[in-house]
Amino acid sequence: MAITVEEIIAALESWAPKKLAEDWDNVGLQLGSLKKQVKHLGVCLDLTPETLAQALTQKIDCLVTHHPFFFKSTKQICWDTWPGKAVKTLAEKDISLIACHTNLDSAKEGVSDVLGEALHLKVERALLPAKATKLFLITTYVPKGYEEKVREILLKEGAGQRGKYSGCSFATEGIGSFYPKEEAKPYRGKVGKLNLVSGTKMEFLVPEFLLARVIAKIKEVHPYEEVPIDVWPTEAYDYRYGLGRIGELPLEYTLYELAQKLSQLLNSQAIFMVGDPKQLVKRVALCGGAGGDFFENALSLGAEVYITAEVKYHQAREAEARGLSLISVGHFESESLIVPKMAEFFQKMANSKGEELQITMLKEKNPFIPLF
């Protein structure tokens, strides 16, 4: 059996969970059926007349784009407009459309991580945590012998993260009491009697977007009929996920040399610098896409230079006045490196399922054409 659109979305959820997307964004299935079988998958940044034409020529039956085709509420669809023509064509040819935008920006090994990887940046954390990474303290009580089962869940699901350490938890032994009523079926103890049993209290941190999954997994392995779990919000966030990244380069570069390196990596001449070209830089912040609004986050974290796209004039002036150098690259170029990563991800997903899936990276170009 072929892979379905639903399975593609489920795989994406393991990499770039929908809950990581910003509130204003629109990600996930944009058009089509979850039950549709997919034999040829196309990946690209945008649905454009050019990428749609390629999809038709190559008989692609599902497209995964980075930027959503539907951003805001659509009040009408007219066949005479480009959006209307695209919808009509996709529907007639039964081509499903999926978007993974700011959820992929905030994901581990997402847009900014891939850009940092190209520069060999040793990433420390995100510039701005996603709202869904707010940390919650989970407390659960397990009978002796079940502690390792819970610890395995933490490691597997990526919970219990503290800085560079994962699977962190704290356990204390104690005595619990319970009185099972007639209809109860206790794992230990007797019905109609106050029972005292020894057990272990376990505590660990979980980001909000993983909360439901981790709780469900604990309930799967827990032997109690009524699983004791308490959840408490904290003021902390899991900075493994979020917009942008900050870290250090393996070597110092001058600002000009770093700009040149980016020009080569991204195959772009649309590179602009703010700052002294001779300044030596090593501590770098970056954000794929339009990240001009986050220059203050970069500054507060000690960045010497901030790499992003679509920096506004007044942002450049303020960064300049406050001693933060900038390298502005094209929006298209700053995100283009994620497309091969998307193709690789879906190929691994198909291989793990033992299914054949043809994957094509559609050809795209920056809509802005430099004169020189």
pLDDT in 10s for each residue of the chain, 372 residues: 789 999 999 999 999 999 999 999 999 999 999 999 999 999 999 999 999 999 999 999 999 999 999 988 888 899 999 999 999 999 999 999 999 999 999 999 999 999 999 999 999 999 999 999 999 999 999 998 899 999 999 999 989 988 888 899 999 999 999 999 988 999 888 999 999 999 999 999 999 999 999 999 999 999 999 999 999 999 999 999 999 999 999 999 999 999 999 999 999 988 999 999 999 999 999 999 999 999 999 999 999 999 999 999 999 999 999 999 999 999 999 999 999 999 999 999 999 999 999 999 999 999 998 777
Q: How many domains does the chain have?
A: 3
Whether residue 372 lies inside any domain: the answer is no
Task: Please check whether residue 350 is in contact with residue 278, taking contact to mean a CB–CB distance below 8 angstroms.
Answer: no
Gyration radius (Cα) of the chain, Å: 25
**205 and 145 in a common domain:** yes
DSSP, res 293: G
Q: Is 331 annotated as a binding residue?
A: yes
In a shared domain, residues 137 and 51: no
Q: Is position 222 annotated in a ligand binding site?
A: no
Note the pTM of the prediction, 2 decimals: 0.91
Residue 368 falls inside a structural domain:
no
- 273 and 342 in a single domain? The answer is no
The two three-digit tokens of residue 332, written as one number: 């298209």
What is the secondary structure of 203-259 as a DSSP string? EEEEEHHHHHHHHHHHHHH---SS--EEEEEEEEE-TTSSB-EEEEEEEEEEHHHHH
Nearest to 203 by CA among 176, 175, 232, 227: 232
Identify which of 138, 208, 190, 194 has the alpha carbon closest to the alpha carbon of residue 168: 138
> Distance between terminal CA atoms of the chain?
51
What is the residue range of 156's domain?
131-237
293 assigned ligand-binding residue: no
Alpha-carbon span 244 to 297, nearest angstrom: 9
